[in-house]
Amino acid sequence: MSVTGAAPGAPPAQAPSGGSGTWRRSLAIHGPEYGWQIVAVIASLLTVVPLIAIAGANPASGYRVLVDASFGSLPGFGRLLLSAVPLILVGLGVAVPLRIGLFNIGGEGQLVVGAFAATVVGVKLTGPADLPGSFILPLLGAAIAGGILGGIAGALKAWRGINEIITTIMLNFVGLEFVQYWVSGPFRDETLTFSSSPAIAAGYELDTFGGTAAIPTSIFVAIGVSLIVGCAIHYSKVGWRLQLGGINPRLAVRQGVSVRFLQFAALTAGGALAGIGGAAEMLGNEYRVGEDFSPGWGFDAIAIAILARGNMFAVVPYAVFFAFLRNGSGVLETDLGVPGTIVTMLVGVPVIIVAAVIGFRSYRRLRGA
């Protein structure tokens, strides 16, 4: 019995035999993996046309504003990269468990808890702040905090069989309320008029470079982590075991793989990555944690991971696309008077299209069986 990356029960891929039907067969076999995500992204951009028109603006002007917000100036490009940092890392936090068939819906709570743990390190542990590479300490604290939250859901799934979607959603509230309690009470900066933690020591901050472009150093943290995770998942025995456990758990057990441990480890790693995402945003942009720290990165990350479909390297371009939408939504509102929510709501369009294609093909396979 061979183990491949295809879904269980999928028909084996056949070599194209030429003729007019070749491209149809190729699309039928590889479409969801290589083509439909791009179609879905284009469809989401086309969907904005009637919405902008309904809002009373010129769609052509809307596209121009969207593009100019991220690529029309050096500062705009810097803001695009800054917006992509948490989306890349939290997207990885969802994509890793997805590799074994688990949905981590708890990225929102994990990233906020991670950012809070990194802030505590940055405020309380000021001694190493000026040492080279000191930012690794708060990132490590964030990984531990986010990993604990993800690990709780992983343990409940692995050894009690409790659905991880339910537990990760519920743990979102636990993490968010936990942080809100501290930043509005015992760990609040009393010099501010709003609830927020004190600012971290300056030595821990991830600065920008490139003059007016303001390229965030944190983008290299995000890309570096994505390369490490991608190589570990796609080119190591651990990644092979994760994929095998997701495709056929019974076969994985017969091969000596502990599926329960992998489930626990995948959700723990996902929580740790989401925590690092929150910490990278805090260290490179906000330098503290407040009540409204995240605008919904954890939920955008779910869509990013679904579009990437288990490919860690594909998380980066999809995260940049979502950052492009977020970056342009505010400018669209200020320049054309179009509500920014019209743009941000489009993040669901690609997911709906890809899910529909996957569901339709699964239905056809079941009918064929």
- What is the Cα 153 distance to its own chain's centre? 18
- What is the Cα 341 distance to its own chain's centre? 20
Q: What is the pTM (predicted TM-score) of this model?
A: 0.86
How far from each other are the two terminal CA atoms of the chain, in whole angstroms? 18
2 occurs within a structural domain: no
pLDDT of 140 over the 50 cut = yes
15 occurs within a structural domain: no
Q: What is the mean pLDDT of residues 60-85?
A: 89
Q: Which of 27-31, 228-232, 302-306, 330-334 has the highest mean pLDDT?
A: 228-232
Instruction: Say what angle helices 297-308 and 74-98 make with each other, to 10 degrees.
Output: 70
Name the 3-class secondary structure at 209.
Answer: strand
Q: Which domain holds residue 341?
A: 38-368
Q: What are phi and psi of 173, to 5 degrees?
A: -65, -40
314 occurs within a structural domain: yes
CATH number at residue 140: 1.10.3470
Q: What are phi and psi of 22, to 5 degrees?
A: -60, -45
30 occurs within a structural domain: no
Q: What string of DSSP letters covers 270-338?
A: HHHHHHHHHHHHIIIIISS-BTT--SSHHHHHHHHHHHHTT-TTTHHHHHHHHHHHHHHHHHHHHHH--
pLDDT, residue 45, reads 79
How far apart CA 280 and CA 228 sit, in angstroms, is 16
27 occurs within a structural domain: no
pLDDT, residue 34, reads 53
7 occurs within a structural domain: no
pLDDT tens string 205-229 = 999 888 777 899 999 999 999 999 9
- Residue in 359, 298, 313, 326 with CA at minimum distance from that of residue 106: 298
46 occurs within a structural domain: yes
pLDDT, residue 316, reads 95
Q: Report which of residues 235 and 339 the model is more confident about.
A: 235
Beta bridge pairs of residue 344: none
pLDDT, residue 99, reads 92
- Residue in 230, 252, 275 with CA at minimum distance from that of residue 109: 275
Q: Report which of residues 361 and 92 the model is more confident about.
A: 92
268 occurs within a structural domain: yes
How far apart CA 164 and CA 334 sit, in angstroms, is 40
Q: Which H or E run contains 55?
A: none
Into how many domains does the chain fold?
1
Q: Give me 154's structure tokens.
A: 């992983």
143 and 272 Cβ atoms separated by less than 8 Å: yes
**What integer best gives the mean pLDDT of the chain?**
85
pLDDT tens string 148-197 = 999 999 999 999 999 999 999 999 999 999 999 999 999 999 999 899 99
